[in-house]
Structure 1
Protein backbone atom coordinates (compact mmCIF):
# COMPACT_ATOMS: atom_id res chain seq x y z
CA UNK A 1 0.00 0.00 0.00
CA UNK A 2 3.00 2.30 0.49
CA UNK A 3 3.54 2.66 -3.24
CA UNK A 4 0.13 4.21 -3.95
CA UNK A 5 -1.18 7.73 -3.41
CA UNK A 6 -3.87 8.28 -0.78
CA UNK A 7 -6.48 9.13 -3.43
CA UNK A 8 -5.68 5.93 -5.32
CA UNK A 9 -6.19 3.85 -2.17
CA UNK A 10 -9.44 5.72 -1.52
CA UNK A 11 -10.67 4.97 -5.05
CA UNK A 12 -9.75 1.30 -4.58
CA UNK A 13 -11.61 1.25 -1.25
CA UNK A 14 -14.76 2.63 -2.92
CA UNK A 15 -14.52 0.08 -5.73
CA UNK A 16 -13.89 -2.75 -3.27
CA UNK A 17 -16.78 -1.73 -1.02
CA UNK A 18 -19.20 -1.29 -3.91
CA UNK A 19 -18.48 -4.85 -5.11
CA UNK A 20 -18.43 -6.34 -1.60
CA UNK A 21 -22.20 -5.96 -1.46
CA UNK A 22 -22.62 -8.63 1.23
CA UNK A 23 -19.98 -6.86 3.39
CA UNK A 24 -18.05 -10.13 3.74
CA UNK A 25 -14.66 -8.38 3.70
CA UNK A 26 -13.50 -9.97 0.47
CA UNK A 27 -14.14 -9.96 -3.27
CA UNK A 28 -13.77 -12.75 -5.81
CA UNK A 29 -11.33 -13.10 -8.69
CA UNK A 30 -14.11 -12.29 -11.19
CA UNK A 31 -14.83 -9.08 -9.33
CA UNK A 32 -11.15 -8.14 -9.34
CA UNK A 33 -11.10 -8.57 -13.13
CA UNK A 34 -14.14 -6.31 -13.45
CA UNK A 35 -12.64 -3.60 -11.23
CA UNK A 36 -9.30 -3.65 -13.04
CA UNK A 37 -11.02 -3.37 -16.42
CA UNK A 38 -13.10 -0.44 -15.15
CA UNK A 39 -9.81 1.22 -14.16
CA UNK A 40 -8.56 0.78 -17.72
CA UNK A 41 -6.10 -2.03 -16.97
CA UNK A 42 -5.74 -4.47 -19.85
CA UNK A 43 -4.91 -7.97 -18.65
CA UNK A 44 -5.53 -11.44 -20.01
CA UNK A 45 -7.51 -13.97 -17.99
CA UNK A 46 -4.38 -16.14 -17.70
CA UNK A 47 -2.22 -13.30 -16.34
CA UNK A 48 -4.96 -12.23 -13.96
CA UNK A 49 -5.33 -15.79 -12.66
CA UNK A 50 -1.56 -15.96 -12.04
CA UNK A 51 -1.53 -12.62 -10.20
CA UNK A 52 -4.52 -13.59 -8.06
CA UNK A 53 -2.92 -16.93 -7.21
CA UNK A 54 0.24 -15.08 -6.16
CA UNK A 55 -1.75 -12.57 -4.11
CA UNK A 56 -4.41 -14.80 -2.51
CA UNK A 57 -1.97 -17.29 -1.03
CA UNK A 58 -4.70 -19.42 0.56
CA UNK A 59 -5.94 -20.49 -2.88
CA UNK A 60 -9.51 -19.38 -2.18
CA UNK A 61 -9.60 -16.91 -5.06
CA UNK A 62 -10.94 -14.39 -2.58
CA UNK A 63 -9.09 -11.19 -1.86
CA UNK A 64 -9.40 -9.06 1.22
CA UNK A 65 -8.86 -5.31 0.83
CA UNK A 66 -5.08 -5.23 1.59
CA UNK A 67 -4.51 -8.06 -0.90
CA UNK A 68 -6.66 -6.28 -3.48
CA UNK A 69 -4.63 -3.07 -3.01
CA UNK A 70 -1.34 -4.97 -3.41
CA UNK A 71 -2.63 -6.55 -6.60
CA UNK A 72 -4.04 -3.30 -8.02
CA UNK A 73 -0.81 -1.45 -7.15
CA UNK A 74 1.15 -3.70 -9.51
CA UNK A 75 -1.00 -2.55 -12.40
CA UNK A 76 -1.35 1.11 -11.41
CA UNK A 77 2.40 1.57 -10.95
CA UNK A 78 3.15 -0.29 -14.18
CA UNK A 79 0.68 1.94 -16.02
CA UNK A 80 2.24 5.09 -14.53
CA UNK A 81 5.65 3.93 -15.72
CA UNK A 82 4.31 3.29 -19.23
CA UNK A 83 2.72 6.76 -19.33
CA UNK A 84 5.98 8.35 -18.15
CA UNK A 85 7.95 6.45 -20.77
CA UNK A 86 5.55 7.61 -23.50
CA UNK A 87 5.85 11.24 -22.36
CA UNK A 88 9.64 11.03 -22.23
CA UNK A 89 9.75 9.39 -25.66
CA UNK A 90 7.72 12.29 -27.06
CA UNK A 91 10.00 14.86 -25.38
CA UNK A 92 13.06 13.03 -26.70
CA UNK A 93 11.60 12.98 -30.22
CA UNK A 94 11.04 16.75 -30.07
CA UNK A 95 14.68 17.40 -29.13
CA UNK A 96 16.00 14.83 -31.62
CA UNK A 97 15.05 17.10 -34.51
CA UNK A 98 16.93 15.14 -37.19
CA UNK A 99 15.59 11.80 -35.97
CA UNK A 100 19.07 10.42 -35.35
CA UNK A 101 18.06 8.41 -32.29
CA UNK A 102 20.17 10.55 -29.98
CA UNK A 103 20.49 14.05 -28.60
CA UNK A 104 23.75 15.88 -28.02
CA UNK A 105 24.98 16.84 -24.58
CA UNK A 106 24.62 20.49 -25.69
CA UNK A 107 20.90 19.91 -26.23
CA UNK A 108 20.73 18.12 -22.88
CA UNK A 109 22.40 21.12 -21.26
CA UNK A 110 19.64 23.37 -22.70
CA UNK A 111 16.92 20.99 -21.46
CA UNK A 112 18.39 20.89 -17.95
CA UNK A 113 18.67 24.69 -17.84
CA UNK A 114 15.00 24.97 -18.86
CA UNK A 115 14.00 22.53 -16.12
CA UNK A 116 16.08 24.22 -13.41
CA UNK A 117 17.58 27.65 -14.11
CA UNK A 118 19.48 27.56 -10.80
CA UNK A 119 21.91 24.94 -12.10
CA UNK A 120 25.43 26.32 -12.41
CA UNK A 121 27.71 25.43 -15.35
CA UNK A 122 29.61 23.16 -12.92
CA UNK A 123 26.34 21.43 -11.92
CA UNK A 124 25.50 20.90 -15.58
CA UNK A 125 28.98 19.54 -16.34
CA UNK A 126 28.64 17.09 -13.44
CA UNK A 127 25.21 15.87 -14.55
CA UNK A 128 26.29 15.49 -18.18
CA UNK A 129 29.48 13.69 -17.21
CA UNK A 130 27.44 11.26 -15.09
CA UNK A 131 24.82 10.61 -17.79
CA UNK A 132 27.17 10.43 -20.78
CA UNK A 133 29.17 7.58 -19.30
CA UNK A 134 30.93 6.65 -22.52
CA UNK A 135 31.91 10.28 -23.25
CA UNK A 136 30.38 10.15 -26.73
CA UNK A 137 28.78 13.60 -26.42
CA UNK A 138 25.37 12.08 -27.18
CA UNK A 139 22.52 10.39 -25.30
CA UNK A 140 20.26 7.75 -26.77
CA UNK A 141 16.68 7.34 -25.54
CA UNK A 142 17.55 4.74 -22.89
CA UNK A 143 20.19 7.02 -21.33
CA UNK A 144 17.76 9.95 -21.48
CA UNK A 145 14.97 7.84 -19.93
CA UNK A 146 17.27 6.66 -17.13
CA UNK A 147 18.34 10.21 -16.33
CA UNK A 148 14.81 11.67 -16.36
CA UNK A 149 13.20 8.89 -14.33
CA UNK A 150 15.96 8.72 -11.73
Structure 2
Protein backbone atom coordinates (compact mmCIF):
# COMPACT_ATOMS: atom_id res chain seq x y z
CA UNK A 1 0.00 0.00 0.00
CA UNK A 2 1.63 3.22 -1.10
CA UNK A 3 2.00 6.25 1.13
CA UNK A 4 0.06 8.25 -1.47
CA UNK A 5 -2.98 5.99 -1.10
CA UNK A 6 -2.78 6.24 2.70
CA UNK A 7 -2.40 10.03 2.47
CA UNK A 8 -5.43 10.31 0.18
CA UNK A 9 -7.46 8.17 2.62
CA UNK A 10 -6.41 10.45 5.49
CA UNK A 11 -7.35 13.53 3.48
CA UNK A 12 -10.74 12.25 2.33
CA UNK A 13 -11.82 10.72 5.65
CA UNK A 14 -10.22 12.98 8.25
CA UNK A 15 -8.87 9.90 10.06
CA UNK A 16 -5.39 10.01 11.55
CA UNK A 17 -2.59 7.61 10.60
CA UNK A 18 -3.15 5.43 13.70
CA UNK A 19 -6.82 4.95 12.82
CA UNK A 20 -5.99 4.18 9.18
CA UNK A 21 -3.31 1.75 10.30
CA UNK A 22 -5.82 -0.08 12.51
CA UNK A 23 -8.32 -0.26 9.63
CA UNK A 24 -5.63 -1.51 7.26
CA UNK A 25 -4.59 -4.27 9.68
CA UNK A 26 -8.19 -5.43 9.99
CA UNK A 27 -8.67 -5.18 6.23
CA UNK A 28 -5.52 -7.21 5.51
CA UNK A 29 -6.65 -9.84 8.01
CA UNK A 30 -9.81 -10.48 5.97
CA UNK A 31 -8.25 -10.02 2.53
CA UNK A 32 -6.38 -13.32 2.78
CA UNK A 33 -6.10 -13.85 -0.99
CA UNK A 34 -4.74 -10.35 -1.47
CA UNK A 35 -7.58 -9.46 -3.85
CA UNK A 36 -7.66 -5.93 -2.45
CA UNK A 37 -11.32 -6.16 -1.37
CA UNK A 38 -13.42 -7.32 1.57
CA UNK A 39 -17.17 -7.88 2.07
CA UNK A 40 -19.68 -5.74 3.96
CA UNK A 41 -19.86 -8.40 6.68
CA UNK A 42 -16.07 -8.21 7.05
CA UNK A 43 -16.32 -4.44 7.44
CA UNK A 44 -18.83 -4.84 10.26
CA UNK A 45 -16.68 -7.45 11.98
CA UNK A 46 -13.54 -5.28 11.78
CA UNK A 47 -15.32 -2.22 13.19
CA UNK A 48 -16.88 -4.25 16.02
CA UNK A 49 -13.50 -5.78 16.86
CA UNK A 50 -12.15 -2.23 17.16
CA UNK A 51 -14.87 -1.45 19.70
CA UNK A 52 -16.84 0.79 17.35
CA UNK A 53 -20.62 0.61 17.70
CA UNK A 54 -22.10 -0.32 14.33
CA UNK A 55 -25.79 -0.43 13.47
CA UNK A 56 -26.42 -2.95 10.66
CA UNK A 57 -28.83 -0.69 8.76
CA UNK A 58 -26.47 2.30 9.05
CA UNK A 59 -23.51 0.34 7.71
CA UNK A 60 -25.63 -1.05 4.86
CA UNK A 61 -26.60 2.51 3.87
CA UNK A 62 -23.01 3.76 4.09
CA UNK A 63 -21.76 0.73 2.15
CA UNK A 64 -24.36 1.22 -0.58
CA UNK A 65 -23.23 4.83 -1.02
CA UNK A 66 -19.59 3.88 -1.66
CA UNK A 67 -20.40 0.70 -3.63
CA UNK A 68 -22.04 2.48 -6.56
CA UNK A 69 -21.81 -0.55 -8.84
CA UNK A 70 -23.31 -2.83 -6.19
CA UNK A 71 -20.45 -5.33 -6.33
CA UNK A 72 -20.46 -6.06 -2.59
CA UNK A 73 -16.67 -5.76 -2.63
CA UNK A 74 -14.90 -2.95 -0.83
CA UNK A 75 -11.38 -1.62 -1.32
CA UNK A 76 -9.42 -0.22 1.63
CA UNK A 77 -10.33 3.31 0.52
CA UNK A 78 -14.04 2.44 0.39
CA UNK A 79 -13.82 0.68 3.76
CA UNK A 80 -12.07 3.68 5.34
CA UNK A 81 -14.75 6.00 3.93
CA UNK A 82 -17.48 3.90 5.56
CA UNK A 83 -15.51 3.41 8.79
CA UNK A 84 -14.78 7.14 9.15
CA UNK A 85 -18.47 7.87 9.63
CA UNK A 86 -18.74 5.52 12.57
CA UNK A 87 -15.37 6.46 14.03
CA UNK A 88 -16.03 10.19 14.04
CA UNK A 89 -19.55 9.71 15.47
CA UNK A 90 -17.97 7.67 18.24
CA UNK A 91 -15.47 10.44 18.93
CA UNK A 92 -18.24 13.03 18.97
CA UNK A 93 -20.27 11.04 21.52
CA UNK A 94 -17.19 10.61 23.68
CA UNK A 95 -16.41 14.31 23.45
CA UNK A 96 -19.97 15.24 24.49
CA UNK A 97 -19.65 12.98 27.55
CA UNK A 98 -16.33 14.58 28.47
CA UNK A 99 -17.81 18.06 28.03
CA UNK A 100 -20.77 17.14 30.28
CA UNK A 101 -18.32 15.97 32.93
CA UNK A 102 -16.24 19.16 32.63
CA UNK A 103 -19.37 21.29 32.77
CA UNK A 104 -20.55 19.50 35.94
CA UNK A 105 -17.18 20.13 37.58
CA UNK A 106 -17.34 23.86 36.83
CA UNK A 107 -21.06 24.20 37.64
CA UNK A 108 -20.08 23.97 41.30
CA UNK A 109 -23.55 24.71 42.70
CA UNK A 110 -25.36 22.50 40.17
CA UNK A 111 -27.40 25.40 38.82
CA UNK A 112 -27.23 24.31 35.16
CA UNK A 113 -24.96 27.13 34.07
CA UNK A 114 -21.46 28.50 34.53
CA UNK A 115 -20.54 32.15 34.80
CA UNK A 116 -18.43 33.91 32.22
CA UNK A 117 -15.76 34.37 34.93
CA UNK A 118 -15.55 30.58 35.31
CA UNK A 119 -15.40 30.27 31.53
CA UNK A 120 -12.44 32.68 31.49
CA UNK A 121 -10.71 30.41 34.05
CA UNK A 122 -11.29 27.38 31.79
CA UNK A 123 -10.03 29.19 28.69
CA UNK A 124 -6.91 30.39 30.53
CA UNK A 125 -6.18 26.76 31.52
CA UNK A 126 -6.62 25.62 27.91
CA UNK A 127 -4.54 28.41 26.37
CA UNK A 128 -2.33 30.52 28.64
CA UNK A 129 -1.41 32.86 25.76
CA UNK A 130 -4.91 34.39 25.61
CA UNK A 131 -5.00 38.06 26.58
CA UNK A 132 -7.83 39.71 28.53
CA UNK A 133 -9.04 41.20 25.23
CA UNK A 134 -9.07 37.73 23.62
CA UNK A 135 -11.04 36.38 26.56
CA UNK A 136 -13.53 39.27 26.45
CA UNK A 137 -14.04 38.74 22.70
CA UNK A 138 -14.65 35.02 23.18
CA UNK A 139 -17.11 35.71 26.02
CA UNK A 140 -18.90 38.31 23.92
CA UNK A 141 -19.24 35.78 21.12
CA UNK A 142 -20.52 32.86 23.19
CA UNK A 143 -22.68 34.76 25.68
CA UNK A 144 -25.00 36.05 22.99
CA UNK A 145 -27.72 37.24 25.34
CA UNK A 146 -25.21 39.01 27.60
CA UNK A 147 -26.52 37.18 30.68
CA UNK A 148 -23.05 36.58 32.12
CA UNK A 149 -23.75 32.84 32.17
CA UNK A 150 -23.52 29.88 29.80
CA UNK A 151 -25.79 26.87 29.88
CA UNK A 152 -24.51 23.46 28.76
CA UNK A 153 -25.68 23.89 25.15
CA UNK A 154 -23.83 27.19 24.77
CA UNK A 155 -20.74 25.66 26.42
CA UNK A 156 -20.86 22.59 24.15
CA UNK A 157 -21.31 24.71 21.03
CA UNK A 158 -18.30 26.82 21.97
CA UNK A 159 -16.08 23.81 22.71
CA UNK A 160 -17.08 21.77 19.66
CA UNK A 161 -17.24 24.69 17.23
- Is 1:106 the counterpart of 2:120? The answer is no
Give the distance between the partners of 1:116 and 1:26, measured in 2 at CA.
Answer: 45
- Is 1:25 the counterpart of 2:31? The answer is no
Aligned counterpart, 1:73? 84
Structure 2 unaligned blocks of 5 or more: 1-8
- Which ranges of 4 or more aligned residues in structure 1 deviate by more than 3 Å? none
Residues 28-67 of structure 1 mapped to structure 2, 5 A cutoff: 28-67=39-78
- Is 1:91 the counterpart of 2:102? The answer is yes
CA displacement at 1:44 relative to structure 2: 2.5
SS in 1 for 2:86: helix
Q: Which has the higher strand share?
A: 1
- Is 1:131 the counterpart of 2:148? The answer is no
Instruction: Let me know the Cα RMSD of the aligned residues.
Output: 1.2
TM-score calculated relative to the size of structure 1: 0.93
Q: Deviations over 1:84-133 (max 9, x none)?
A: 11111100010011222111111111111222233222221111011101
Give the distance between the partners of 2:44 and 2:135, measured in 1 at CA.
Answer: 47
